[in-house]
Amino acid sequence: MRLSITFALASLTCIASCHTIFVQLGVEGTTYPVSHGIRDPTYDGPIQDVTAQYIACNGGGQQATALSSDIINVKAGDTVQATWRHTLTSTAATDSVYVVDPSHKGPTLAYLKKVTDATTATGPVGYNFVIIFWRRVLTRNHSAGKWATEDLIANKGVQNIVIPPCLEDGQYLLRPELIALHAAASKEGAQFYMECAQINVSGGTGTANPATVSLPGAYSATDPGILINIYDNPTSYTIPGPAPFTCGAGGDSTTPVVEPEVSAPPVSVAPPHSTFVTSAKPQASTVKAPLKSTGTGAHAPVHT
Ligand SMILES: *[C@@H]1O[C@H](CO)[C@@H](O)[C@H](O)[C@H]1NC(C)=O
Ligand SMILES: CC(=O)N[C@H]1CO[C@H](CO)[C@@H](O)[C@@H]1O
Ligand SMILES: [Cu+2]
């Protein structure tokens, strides 16, 4: 059957080498070195178990992540540029697949989590990424017959993300995400790529009251946007997780939708930095937390 063959070929050409990683953040014309202010792992592979604690900010196995001592200042309302690369050291000059392999089709998303100190925030028990509340602030759709990853490749790996102007000032973890669906026809075949940047937001109006979700928790392995055969040429696609938060538009909905595209001008990014180092850290145990904030009113509980 033709579709199965296509599927098999797409899978086979990309067994262990066609991954991607969020390596760099740009803010309104300022670019930072690779891994500056980003909790990058040592490896560019995906998370495939949506119930894993590592679905929050990556980590685990050969993908140990390191906290960064850096924090990136962002103004609420700014558009930031999350740069995705095939590996931590890929450049256009050295790697023909320097963003992500074209087989890796799917949506791109972004979440935020408010924290007290982005350079140390790891979870309620002091370890990494246990239960975390997120806000997704941007997603894209493929209604134009394209997946967001195709636009990402065309845009040289730069994912533009608008930081909502109504956000409360303070420190956040910014979690850009790319979901690759080339093998998603079987359970746990979808590949989730994400890393967390440490940002400090100022200048916001602080009027936001967004709903939050937990990661793990926001996704199910059988969500229609996660367990899907993209070789069937679907005419629509439901992005997993809640609707994105938008300022002033009743953005607290948690109904999954095919979302409007938010676009912003691409910017050029600085060449990779050569001094990235990382180290293994203790990993978290599983802890349950409420899905929504109940204590603070305006925002999700802060876990550090
Ligand atoms: C965050 O930004 C505010 C406003 O610019 C600033 O006062 C504060 O020092 C910054 N915090 C960090 C950790 O950089
Ligand atoms: C709701 C919707 O369809 N939004 C956008 C999806 O993406 C295309 C471009 O890729 C836009 O033209 C749509 O407006
Ligand atoms: Cu891959």
Taking the C-alpha atoms of residue 253 and residue 250, their distance in angstroms, rounded to an integer, is 7
DSSP 8-state code for residue 298 = S
pLDDT recorded at residue 104:
94
Taking the C-alpha atoms of residue 237 and residue 163, their distance in angstroms, rounded to an integer, is 25
Confidence of residue 140 (pLDDT cuts 50, 70, 90): low
Average pLDDT over residues 191-214: 90
- Give the lowest-confidence range in 1-10, 34-43, 69-78: 1-10
Taking the C-alpha atoms of residue 274 and residue 257, their distance in angstroms, rounded to an integer, is 40
Beta strands in the chain (DSSP E): 21-27, 30-31, 38-39, 72-75, 79-85, 108-115, 132-139, 158-162, 170-180, 191-194, 196-202, 213-215
Identify the top-confidence range among 57-61, 160-164, 209-213, 292-296. Answer: 160-164
Residues within 6 Å of ligand 1 by CB: 71, 73, 200, 202
Residue with tokens 């409420």: 290
What is the value of pTM for the model shown?
0.75
Confidence of residue 181 (pLDDT cuts 50, 70, 90): very high
Instruction: Name the token pair of 268.
Output: 């050029």
Q: Say how many Å lie between the CA of residue 262 and the centre of ligand 2.
A: 9
136 alpha-carbon distance from chain centroid: 9
pLDDT recorded at residue 95:
92
Instruction: Name the token pair of 300.
Output: 């999700």
Sheet holding 158-162, edge to edge: 30-31, 21-27, 79-85, 158-162
pLDDT recorded at residue 137:
53
pLDDT recorded at residue 119:
93
Give nearest CA residue, ligand 2 atom 2: 260
Confidence of residue 255 (pLDDT cuts 50, 70, 90): very low
pLDDT recorded at residue 46:
94
- Give the lowest-confidence range in 7-21, 71-85, 173-187: 7-21
Residues with C-beta atoms within 5 A of ion ligand 3: 18-19
Give nearest CA residue, ligand 1 atom 7: 202
268 alpha-carbon distance from chain centroid: 20
Average per-residue pLDDT in the chain? 75
Main-chain phi, psi angles of 53, to 5 degrees:
-60, -25
Tens-place pLDDT, residues 236-249: 788 898 878 878 65
β-sheet bridge partners, residue 81: 26, 160
Is the pLDDT at 252 greater than 50, yes or no?
no
* Closest atom of ligand 2 to CA, residue 151: 10
Q: How many CB atoms lie within 10 A of CB 71?
A: 17
Of 165, 191, 108, 188, the C-alpha closest to 142 is: 108
pLDDT recorded at residue 274:
30
Is the pLDDT at 260 greater than 80, yes or no?
no
pLDDT recorded at residue 143:
54
Ligand 2 within 6 A of CB of 261: yes
Q: Say how many Å lie between the CA of residue 141 and the centre of ligand 2.
A: 6
Is the pLDDT at 70 greater than 90, yes or no?
yes
Confidence of residue 134 (pLDDT cuts 50, 70, 90): low
Average pLDDT over residues 269-292: 32
Instruction: Name the token pair of 113.
Output: 């989590």
Ligand 2 within 6 A of CB of 257: no
Main-chain phi, psi angles of 258, to 5 degrees:
-90, 110
Average pLDDT over residues 47-55: 91
Q: Say how many Å lie between the CA of residue 65 and the centre of ligand 2.
A: 34
Helices (H), the chain: 2-12, 148-154
| 233 or 207: which leads in pLDDT | 207
CB 38 within 8 A of CB 68: yes
Average pLDDT over residues 90-95: 93
Closest ligand to residue 151's CA: 2
pLDDT recorded at residue 21:
97
CB 35 within 8 A of CB 273: yes
Percent of the chain with pLDDT over 90: 41
Helices (H), 77-206: 148-154
Average pLDDT over residues 125-143: 46
Give nearest CA residue, ligand 1 atom 1: 200
* Closest atom of ligand 2 to CA, residue 146: 10
Closest ligand to residue 117's CA: 1
Burial class of residue 2, CB neighbours in 10 A (0-12, 13-18, 19+) = exposed
